[in-house]
Amino acid sequence: MSAANLSLPASQRQWLINGNPRGRALSVDDFALHQAPLAPLADGEVRMRVEYLSFDPSQKGQMENVSGYASGNDLGSVMPAGGVGEVVESRNAGVAVGSKVAGRPGWQEYAVLPRGAAQVLPDDGLLTAYLGPLGGTGLTAYFGLLRIGRPEPGDTVVVSGAAGAVGSIVGQIAKLMGCRTVGIAGGADKCAWLVDELGFDAAIDYKNDNVKAALRSLCADGIDVFFDNVGGPVLNDALACIAHGARVVVCGGISRYEQASLPPGPPNYFNIVFREATMQGFLLTRFEKEFPQARVRLRGWLESGAIAHREDIQQGFENIPQTLLRLFNGANFGKQLLRL
Q: Is the dihedral of CA 136, 180, 199, 163 positive or negative?
A: negative
Instruction: Assign residue 119 a region (left: φ > 0; alpha: ψ between -120 and 50; beta: otherwise).
Output: beta
**Confidence band of 258 (pLDDT split at 50, 70, 90):** low
How confident is the model at residue 71, as a pLDDT? 56
| pLDDT one-digit tens code per residue, 44-79 | 999 999 999 999 888 887 887 654 555 557 889 999
How confident is the model at residue 1, as a pLDDT? 46
Q: Are 158 and 219 in contact (CB under 8 A)?
A: yes
Query: Does the pLDDT of residue 333 top 50, yes or no?
Result: yes
Query: Does the pLDDT of residue 207 top 80, yes or no?
Result: yes
How confident is the model at residue 226, as a pLDDT? 98
| pLDDT one-digit tens code per residue, 247-256 | 999 998 665 5
Domains of the chain: 11-132+309-339 (3.90.180.10), 136-284 (3.40.50.720)
**Confidence band of 6 (pLDDT split at 50, 70, 90):** low
What percentage of the chain reaches a pLDDT higher than 70?
93
**Strand pairing report for 11-17 and 31-37:** antiparallel
- Average pLDDT score, the chain: 92
Q: Is the dihedral of CA 109, 112, 113, 119 positive or negative?
A: positive
Higher pLDDT, 60 or 208: 208
Higher pLDDT, 334 or 13: 13
Question: Strand runs (DSSP E) across 218-268, as ranges?
Answer: 223-228, 242-250
Distance CA 309, CA 134 (A): 11
Distance CA 144, CA 282 (A): 7
Start-to-end CA span in the chain (Å): 28
How confident is the model at residue 25, as a pLDDT? 85
Distance CA 56, CA 104 (A): 13
SS3 content of the chain, % helix, strand, coil (to 5): 30, 25, 40
Provide φ and ψ at 103, rounded to 5°.
-170, -160
How confident is the model at residue 259, as a pLDDT? 54
Q: Which of 18-22, 100-104, 126-130 has the lowest mean pLDDT?
A: 18-22
How confident is the model at residue 255, as a pLDDT? 52
Q: Are 85 and 77 in contact (CB under 8 A)?
A: no
Largest CA distance in the chain: 67
Higher pLDDT, 177 or 260: 177
Mean pLDDT of 122-128: 90
How confident is the model at residue 67, as a pLDDT? 47
Distance CA 113, CA 136 (A): 18
Q: Considering only CA atoms, which of 72, 69, 10, 16 is closest in space to residue 38? A: 10
> Residue 37: which H helix or E strand, with range?
strand 31-37
**Confidence band of 263 (pLDDT split at 50, 70, 90):** low
